[in-house]
Amino acid sequence: MKSLHLVVTSVTGFLLILGSLDVPDTGDPSSPPSLHVSPRYIERGFAETDVPNMVTAVLADYRSFDTLGEVTVVFAAAMSVLLILRGGRRRA
């Protein structure tokens, strides 16, 4: 059983190394992520949103629906834990 898990893990790792051959080098300024969508956030972010922190601008404006989803996950976790634990036996 243990050896099966080792084999599965090694195959996964090997596949990922194989896939990484075509991933651009770390910090490469001409990699697709640096050239395709993100330049607009940097170049026009302040002009469009009035917020100097681009991470905040993307988080709370360009992709604010993702953030709503993120807060929903936190809310879901709180409600889930409440649902799982609070009905059971409880101390005071």
Partner 1 sequence: MNIHQSAVPILIVAAPLVASFILPVLGWWKRAAAFPVALVALTFSFGVAIVAAREVLTNGPLQYFLGGWAPPWGIEFRIDHLGALMLLLLSFITLLVAIYSKRSISRELPEREVPFYSVYLLLVAGLMGMVATADMFNLYVFLEITSLTSYALVSIGGGAAVVSAFRYVILGTVGAAFYLLSVGYLYSVTGSLNMADLSRILPALYQSNAVLVAFAFFVIGMSIKMALFPMHAWLPGAYSNAPSAVSAVIAATTTKVAMYALVRVLFFVFEPRFSVEVIPVTTLLSWMGAVAMVLGSVMAIVQSDLKRMLAYSSVAQIGYSVLGVGLATTMGLTGALLHLINHAVIKCCLFLAAGAIFYKTGLREIRQLRKLSIKMPWTSAAFSVAAFSMIGVPPLGGFFSKLYLMLGAIDEGQWVFVGAILFSSTLALSYFVNVIRYMYFPSPNPDADAAVPVSVGGRPEENTASALSMTDPSRDEAPATMLGPMLILVGVTILLGWFNGDIVSRFLSPAILTSFGR
Partner 2 sequence: MTEFVIGHFNIITYIVLMMIGFYAMTGKTNLVKKLVGMNIFQWSIILFVVSLGAKRGATIPILLDDANHDRNPEVVLDAMQYVNPLPHVLMLTAIVVGVATTGVALALLLRIYSQYGTLEEDELLETIRSAGNPSAPSR
Partner 3 sequence: MIAEQQSIIVKTLCRLLVPFIQMFGLYVIMHGHSSPGGGFQGGVILASSFILLAIGFGLETVKQRFSIAAVTVFTSTGVLLYAVTGIVCLLLGANYLDYGILPVANPRSIGMLVIEVSVGITVMAAFVSIFHDLITFE
Residue 24 near residue 32 (C-beta atoms within 8 A): yes
Query: Using CA atoms, how far apart are residues 60 and 26, in angstroms rounded to an integer?
Result: 27
Q: Tell me which residue has tokens 């090694």.
A: 10
Q: Which residues in the 40-59 window bind partner 1 by CB under 8 A?
A: 40-41
Binders of partner 2 among residues 16 to 45 (CB under 8 A) are: 16-17, 20-21, 23, 25-29, 31, 33-34, 37-39, 41-45
Shortest distance, position 76 Cβ to partner 3, whole Å:
9
Q: Which two tokens stand for residue 51?
A: 């917020």
Give the dihedral sign, CA 39/40/41/43: positive
Q: Does 63 bind partner 1 (CB under 8 A)?
A: yes
Binding region for partner 3 (CB under 8 A): 48-53, 55-57, 59-61, 64-65, 67-68, 70-72, 74-75, 77-79, 81-82, 85-86, 88-92
